[in-house]
């Protein structure tokens, strides 16, 4: 398990991270959400030791992250880059060796990965000859070649076409299923919604929410309902404990102040006529995200 504890970092007078803490658990895909400039990349660079924290600590399996430990991590930086003039397979094999694999193991892993990522046909092309989407796949392969113990991916899906997203997603899911903790940042909330098990939301250098996806949904979402009746639902505005979010003739979306109010609303609705629909609304991540930041 990766544990980030009270990590702070400033650039000059600008405090980019303010005592942030969160965990990344084994076998879980953890989505790292935050607006541009909220501190996601800085956090990831600190975890990878590329940047030093000004306070706090990052531990892996309870111990400090030393050079040999760091070497077992897989990292995909936000700004992509591999050697443009080096052949794809050769490059990924080399990076595998740099991470401590033997030449033969690195070669075997590269072959397997390129196959998984549908890149085998481009193995002997120079990186710069690949389309951007394929370069992105090569970048994923570079982060995975050494069978990393932990995966840190900064915006892994940006720039990918939908088919590539599915391919990469499958590959990452496989790794998580093998027990590898995966931390990835993204702006694409719908994608994160589909993909992540846990969520960490960061805003202006502070963690505003973190936990399991369902747990967060429950925390941020059970108070909202949709009601559809036969006649006008305007009476809801005057119902105690209710805040109407949206009202459109017989259809209304409202929030309640506590766990009993929703049942009382249902009773009054039934007393006024037929109820066609009464649904608790599960918030999308986007809503949680907007609320949390």
Partner 1 sequence: MATTGFWPATKLVAEREMRTFLRLKGFWFGLAILLIALFAAAILPTLFGDSKPVVAAVGPEARQVLTDTSVEIRDVPDVATAEQLVRAEEVEAAVVPGPRVIALDDPPTKVIAALATAPPVDLLAPAAVTEGVRILVIQLFALVFLMFGMGGSAIAQGTVTEKQTRIVEILVATVPVRALLAGKILGHWLLNVGQLLVVTIAAPIALQLGGHSSLLTMVAPALGWFIPFLCFGFVLLASMWAVAGALVSRQEDLGASMGPVMMLVMGPYFGVVFASDNATAMTVLSYIPFSAAVAMPLRMFTGEAQAWEAALSLGVLAGAVVAIVLLASRLYTGSLLQTGGKVALKKAWAHAD
Check if the beta carbon of residue 20 is closer than 8 Å to that of residue 205: yes
The region of 22-30, 64-72, 177-185, 234-242 touching partner 1 under the rule CB under 8 A is 64-72
- Dist CA 293 CA 281 (whole Å): 20
Measured from the CB atom, the residue of 139 and 167 that comes closer to partner 1 is 139
Q: Which is nearer to partner 1, 14 or 85 (CB)?
A: 85
Q: Residue from 33, 142, 233, 288 that binds partner 1 (CB under 8 A)?
A: 142
- Of 76-95, binders to partner 1 (CB under 8 A) are 77, 79-86, 94-95
Query: Mask of contacts with partner 1, 96-125, x by CB under 8 A?
Result: -xxxxxx-----------------------
- Window contacting partner 1 (CB under 8 A); options: 70-78, 185-193, 231-239, 265-273: 70-78
Interaction of residue 10 with partner 1, rule CB under 8 A: no
- If one asks whether residue 62 binds partner 1 (CB under 8 A), the answer comes out as no
Binding site for partner 1 (CB under 8 A): 45, 48-52, 67-68, 70-73, 75, 77, 79-86, 94-95, 97-102, 142-143, 146-147, 149
């Amino acid at each position: 398990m990766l544990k980030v504890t009270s990590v702070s970092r400033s650039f000059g007078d600008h405090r980019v991270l303010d005592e942030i803490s969160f965990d990344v658990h084994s076998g879980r895909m953890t989505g790292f959400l935050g607006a541009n400039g909220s501190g996601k990349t800085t956090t990831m660079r600190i975890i990878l030791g590329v940047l030093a924290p000004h306070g706090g600590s990052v531990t892996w399996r309870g111990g400090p992250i030393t050079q040999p430990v760091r070497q077992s991590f897989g990292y995909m930086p936000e700004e992509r880059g591999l050697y443009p003039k080096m052949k794809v397979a050769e490059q990924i094999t080399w990076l595998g060796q740099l991470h401590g694999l033997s030449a033969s193991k690195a070669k075997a892993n590269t072959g397997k990965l390129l196959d998984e990522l549908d890149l085998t046909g481009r193995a002997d092309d120079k990186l710069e000859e690949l389309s951007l989407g394929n370069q992105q796949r090569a970048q994923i392969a570079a982060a995975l070649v050494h069978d990393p113990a932990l995966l840190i991916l900064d915006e892994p899906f940006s720039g990918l076409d939908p088919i590539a997203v599915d391919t990469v997603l499958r590959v990452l899911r496989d790794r998580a299923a093998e027990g590898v903790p995966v931390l990835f940042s993204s702006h694409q909330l719908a994608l994160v919604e589909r993909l992540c098990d846990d969520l960490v939301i960061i805003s202006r250098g502070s963690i505003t929410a973190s936990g399991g996806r369902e747990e967060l949904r429950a925390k941020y979402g059970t108070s909202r309902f949709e009601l559809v009746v036969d006649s006008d639902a305007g009476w809801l505005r005057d119902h105690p404990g209710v805040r109407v979010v949206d009202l459109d003739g017989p259809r209304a979306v409202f929030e309640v102040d506590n766990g009993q109010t929703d049942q009382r609303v249902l009773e009054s609705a039934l007393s006024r006529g037929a109820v066609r629909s009464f649904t608790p609304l599960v918030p999308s991540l986007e809503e949680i995200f907007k609320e949390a930041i």
